[in-house]
Amino acid sequence: MNTATSSYYEIATQLPPDSVVTLRGVSWEEYEELIEHLIEAAGLRVSFDQGTLTIMTLSPEHEKYVRFFESLITVIRLRLRLTILSFGSATMRKKKNKKGNEPDACFYVQTASVIGNRMHIDFAVDPPPDIVVEVDIHHDSLGKFPIYVALGVPEIWRYDGKRLTIHHLQQDQYVSVEQSLALPVLSDSVLTDFLNRLSQQGESPALVAFDQWLESRQQ
């Protein structure tokens, strides 16, 4: 690592939970080198927007919500027999736009067949995920939306700890919608309800209730 990248790495690995640091004047090469060295570091999200590097550390509460989203998608896969690919917080980046980000979770639904059984994604040539998830219980992801526009992400689910909102890409901006376009069975109110059940009832009861709700929709 060069001197600058070593400094960024030290900052990233020493941040306390629920912290955000923004660094400016960072080159694309320094960003890519940092990402490569942070690949094994847990509990971090790194975004890059034309020279501005943002590093965020996560809390256990944040990660619990992220895992719950993964579990909800697993229930949908099994109940509705859908092929949905999950790539977690995979680093999405495009050199030509000088933009990159790591969502809290991301899923391929309509374009899952394009990815197939591959384990690695090249966002320079592969399509973006159909859904990315941002959990904003301690931090605000709205500043990342221009990055997602450049990456061409069709749909964002954003949860602020109280309410989930769904955002659909229209031309060069995100517009709030009630229904998921990637998974039309889901709406912002339905997802909000089951996310709130997680904190009120616990993970297992919330997932069982979600599975029962999906089953009732098939009858």
Residues 126 and 157 in one domain: yes
What's the pLDDT at 151? Answer: 95
What's the pLDDT at 12? Answer: 85
Residues 53 and 65 in one domain: no
The CATH number given to whatever domain includes residue 136 is 3.90.1570.20
Question: pLDDT tens digits for 33-50?
Answer: 999 888 766 788 999 999
What's the pLDDT at 176? Answer: 97
Residues 175 and 203 in one domain: yes
What's the pLDDT at 155? Answer: 98
Residue ranges making up the domain that contains 43: 1-57
What's the pLDDT at 180? Answer: 97
Residues 48 and 73 in one domain: no
What's the pLDDT at 27? Answer: 94
What's the pLDDT at 3? Answer: 81
- Give the C-alpha distances (Å, rounded to integers) separating 187 from 180, 203, 209: 6, 20, 16
Domain end residue (candidates: 42, 57, 72): 57
Task: Name residues whose C-beta falls within 8 Å of residue 97's C-beta, 6 or more positions apart in sequence.
Answer: 50, 150, 151
Q: Which stretches of the chain drop beneath a pLDDT of 50?
A: none
Domain count, the chain: 2
Residues 167 and 142 in one domain: yes
Residues 125 and 35 in one domain: no
Residues 53 and 64 in one domain: no
